[in-house]
């Protein structure tokens, strides 16, 4: 038997040669740490160690070890009498770089401000993430009573203005698949729960270029939205106006719909996209 000796390449400075077992453990720790961050991001008002360990399904000791590591790196911090944990500044810094590096969000902001000025209502920007829409930017109106969404918050595609605008922009087979997997769960009394009614709504949105949320996600709040497209006529996201139902009457919705649609078309063309809706 011939034995061939190979010189191992020198280890990179500051790193130890990787071993399968170590790599697996490191990946697992990373996954668990990110799960904790996601858990905290979804929570309002912070979470205790016990709350976090239950939600991420990890032992309290493991959870505490991961939190301590994240705390040293600035991704989480602990405060309050109950020792609640919160998302830290470093997580915000990393998340903000996503928006800074995405021309879509950066270039849309000036249009959102113009939309707010023209309408007097709060303008929002959202993108598609999996089976939900995620808010990534907002320009608040000057009214005392206004609708404010938390950046990073998620809304369902079937029961929100931005969601329905994006939903209607997807290919029919993708919509069919989403309907089979997610269904149309009821959120408010006005939520569309019938596939036939949803398809009828989708046809209307495609024809006129804007969607309408009639208190389907939040009672007392109405929203009108329009999709933004890339060069393949695929949705990048959606822009919307949201406000209390007392101000967004049926008449105002009919007036604001084309305004939102026009701004969305402007953003689409600014980004080099193609606007598929008829004028």
State the Cα–Cα distance between residues 261 and 211, nearest whole angstrom. Answer: 9
**Closest C-alpha among 31, 45, 273, 38 to residue 134:** 38
**Does residue 264 lie in a domain region?**
yes
Task: Specify whether 256 is located in the same domain as 119.
Answer: yes
What is the domain range of residue 112?
A: 102-270
pLDDT digits (tens, 9 = 90+) for 103-127: 678 889 999 999 999 999 999 999 9
Whether 9 maps to a domain, the answer reads no
pTM of model > 0.85: no
For residue 206, is it within any domain? Answer: yes
- The DSSP annotation for 49-104 comes to HHHHHHHHT--HHHHHHHHHHHHHTTSEEEETTTTEEEE-HHHHHHHHHHHHT-HH
pLDDT band, residue 250 (cuts 50/70/90):
very high
Helices in 77-221 by DSSP H: which ranges? 89-100, 103-119, 161-169, 172-182, 195-208
**167/53 same-domain check:** no
In sequence order, what are the residues at sequence separation of 6 or more whose Cβ sits closer than 8 angstroms to the Cβ of residue 23? none
Residues 26-34: contacts with CB under 8 Å, at least 24 apart = 29/66, 32/56, 32/58, 32/62, 32/66, 33/66, 33/69, 33/70
| Per-residue CA distances from 22 to 16, 67, 206 (Å) | 10, 20, 52
Nearest to 56 by CA among 79, 71, 37: 37
Structure tokens, 103: 């021309």
If asked whether residues 121 and 250 sit together in one domain, one would say yes
Are 201 and 247 members of one domain? yes
Same domain assignment for residues 137 and 75: no
List, for residues 142-195, the tens digit of each pLDDT value.
Answer: 887 777 788 888 999 999 999 999 999 999 999 999 999 889 999 999 999 999
- 51 and 152 in a common domain: no
Q: Are residues 72 and 123 in the same domain?
A: no
Same domain, 66 and 194: no
Of 72, 91, 110, the residue at which a domain comes to its end is 91
C-alpha torsion sign, points 56, 62, 67, 70: negative
Residue 39 tokens, joined: 């858990």
The answer to whether residues 187 and 82 belong to one domain is no
What are the tokens at 141? 């109106």
235 pLDDT more than 80: yes
- Displacement of CA 131 from its chain's centroid (Å): 10
Could you say which of 63, 91, 119 is where a domain stops? 91
**SS3 at position 24:** helix
Distance CA 18, CA 37 (A): 26
Domain check: are 122 and 241 in the same one? yes
Same-domain pairing of 131 and 213: yes
Count of domains observed in the chain:
2
Instruction: Please tell me the number of Cα atoms within 13 Å of 237 on its side-chain side.
Output: 22
Q: 14 lies in a domain?
A: no
What is the SS3 assignment for 136?
Answer: strand
pLDDT higher than 90, residue 138: yes
**Residue 173 falls within a domain, yes or no?**
yes
Verify that 108 and 74 share a domain, yes or no: no
Q: Positive or negative CA dihedral for 32, 37, 41, 46?
A: positive
What band does 21 get if pLDDT is binned at 50, 70 and 90?
low
Q: Say which CATH number the domain at 184 has.
A: 3.30.450.40
Q: What is the CATH number of the domain that holds 60?
A: 1.10.10.10
Residue 13 domain flag: no
């Amino acid at each position: 038997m011939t034995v061939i000796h190979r010189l191992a390449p020198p280890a990179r400075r500051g790193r130890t040669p990787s071993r399968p077992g170590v790599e697996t453990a490191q990946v697992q720790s990373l996954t668990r740490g990110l799960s904790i961050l996601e858990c905290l991001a979804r929570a309002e008002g912070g979470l205790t160690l016990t709350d976090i360990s239950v939600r991420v399904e990890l032992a309290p000791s493991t959870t505490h070890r991961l939190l301590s590591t994240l705390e040293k790196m600035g991704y989480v911090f602990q405060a309050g009498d109950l020792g609640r944990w919160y998302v830290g500044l470093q997580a915000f810094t990393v998340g903000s770089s996503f928006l800074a590096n995405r021309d879509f969000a950066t270039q849309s902001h000036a249009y959102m401000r113009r939309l707010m000025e023209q309408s007097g209502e709060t303008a929002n920007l959202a993108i598609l993430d999996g089976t939900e829409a995620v808010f990534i930017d907002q320009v608040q109106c000057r009214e005392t009573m206004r609708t404010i969404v938390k950046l990073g918050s998620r809304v369902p595609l079937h029961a929100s203005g931005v969601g329905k605008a994006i939903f209607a922009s997807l290919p029919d087979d993708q919509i069919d698949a989403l309907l089979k997997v997610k269904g149309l769960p009821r959120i408010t009394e006005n939520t569309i729960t019938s596939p036939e009614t949803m398809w009828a709504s989708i046809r209307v949105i495609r024809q006129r270029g804007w969607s309408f949320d009639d208190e389907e996600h939040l009672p007392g709040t109405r929203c009108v939205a329009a999709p933004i497209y890339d060069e393949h006529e695929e949705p990048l996201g959606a822009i919307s106006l949201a406000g209390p139902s007392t101000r967004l009457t049926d008449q105002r919705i009919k007036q604001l719909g084309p305004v939102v649609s026009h701004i969305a078309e402007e953003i689409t063309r600014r980004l080099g996209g193609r606007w598929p809706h008829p004028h």
